[in-house]
Structure 1
């Protein structure tokens, strides 16, 4: 009996589980949801670069704390005092947007999905790839200047607002029409989101990279500029030569043919189909993934 009491006492002392109420569960769900949205926001904005910079600073501060480097610790303390306020000021537009997106989000739909859903994680369909290639080759043949920005993870809303909203299904005829000479929408960039043309006549930031060739015009510098600021893939058709170029990650690739262009589009298409079945009342979830 004494052995049983000792074992019981041991488990009650070291393996006791705290009592969890309904309020605790609600708090966990809310905090998890807000934390998830915060992480998604960081990944989709320039804040991700800032987070990596802060991580490096924290590592150096930790080393300074371990080795008792008083001067570095004093500088870090003074910097952290104003760091939070500086971050809020610098990222005020992004913080406003994430709050707006949170207000528009269907929270209950996110937390409790339906009976069965098919989540196609590809950014755009195969027909969109073909239509873009078809339009670009036609404009290249006719030497029609074009600047096409394809959105990936980083949302291009800021640049979209500088142009005219189109929000139309993408087709090669529409793309060619937009960039036709002497039409109201031909000047500026077209932004593609998924399978739709989101906006036209958009202004893009010009790259200040001194290594770019002097023969490159404004379209190419704008394409490099947007690829330096975001993860977008940009297609450029030269009005002078008809040559096709693309930019991605600040890199410029020139003189592409139709096959090379299609390969790059398929690469950023990120094609994968994730079929998810969720039956709340049965407590069963299955996953099936079909590779490209």
Structure 2
């Protein structure tokens, strides 16, 4: 091997080394982003800058103090950053720290799915009637304006509280838009389909009605049976279990697959309409 080849290999190794270190530092920053560790890192940076300046200008007392801070700082960092370090190690163990970054929109969608599932499960178990419509590409401003504006972050507790019987907002539908509750107590158009089962009540007819005029996905909890139903594109699917509902919500909100009528309902279920 010639000396020129060694120089090329050394240069390539340095480039790879620097790239890997930069990537690791970037990933660590993404882990602590939004936590109190960011402010602590700023404090550490100030200490290091003061230490360098004191060394440069010969400020011996200040240099000694900063040296002691740096010497014992490693132990302090481990103690102070213990929650962040544990979080980073957990993500490393799950293989997530070096995986694809989740965008804020995807993170909000995941939280929305979990909030809806938790609230639907709670209300179904206690037979609390509910009607939730998720806006898609077709605007629902006309129906949002019939209700009470909220523009609130979606949580399971808020959804449950809205539909508790005899509360001001329980009668009507919740309309979700961009992973937020746009409005509650909204009025949805009733379906005029003559073939709808006579056993279905106003909530199911409203859910079918909105699915006939928009591309919204609408969830229903029956007050009589506690069963969960879903409507979209004029189709009503009844008695949906939790796993099927999760798959439907992930497809609708996380865009895990192409959203078309034939693929949306591939999980089966009891279909009317």
* TM-score normalised over the length of structure 2: 0.54
Q: For residue 123 of structure 2, give the secondary structure of its aligned residue in structure 1.
A: helix
8 Å CA contact 2:173–2:187 kept in 1: the answer is yes
Could you tell me which of 218, 230, 238 is aligned with 1:254?
238
Structure having the larger proportion of residues in strand: 1
Q: Helix, strand or coil for the counterpart of 2:239?
A: strand
Which residue does the alignment assign to 2:145? Answer: 161
> 1:110-149 residue pairs with structure 2 within 5 A?
125-149=109-133
- Alpha-carbon distance, 1:259 to partner: 0.8
Asked whether the equivalents of residues 109 and 254 of structure 2 are also in contact (C-alpha less than 8 Å), the reply is no
8 Å CA contact 1:225, 1:250 repeated in 2: yes
Secondary structure of 1:200's counterpart equals: strand
Q: Do the aligned partners of 2:123 and 2:221 also contact (CA within 8 Å) in 1?
A: yes
Q: Which of 238, 249, 260 is residue 222 of structure 2 equivalent to?
A: 238
Q: What is the match of residue 26 of structure 1?
A: none
Task: Report the aligned-residue RMSD.
Answer: 1.8
Q: Contact conserved, 1:123 with 1:271, CA < 8 A, in 2? A: no
1:183 matched residue in structure 2: 167
* Displacement after TM superposition at 1:120 (Å): 6.9
Cα offsets for 1:73-100 (capped at 9, x unmatched) = xxxxxxxxxxxxxxxxxxxxxxxxxxxx
Q: Higher relative contact order at CA 8 Å, sep ≥6: structure 1 or structure 2?
A: 1
5+ long unaligned stretches in structure 2 = 1-101, 257-273
Pair 1:229 & 2:217 matched: no
Count residues in correspondence. Answer: 155
Structure 1's 184 and 121: CA in aligned 2 closer, same or farther, altered over 3 A? closer
- The residue number in structure 2 matching 1:32 is none
**2:149 & 2:254 partners in 1: Cα distance?**
26
Structure 1: which 5+ runs fail to align?
1-117, 273-292
Task: Check the 8 A contact 1:167/1:199 in 2, yes or no.
Answer: yes
Q: Contact between 1:140 and 1:237, CA under 8 Å: does it hold in 2? A: yes
Residue 212 in structure 1 maps to residue 196 in structure 2: yes
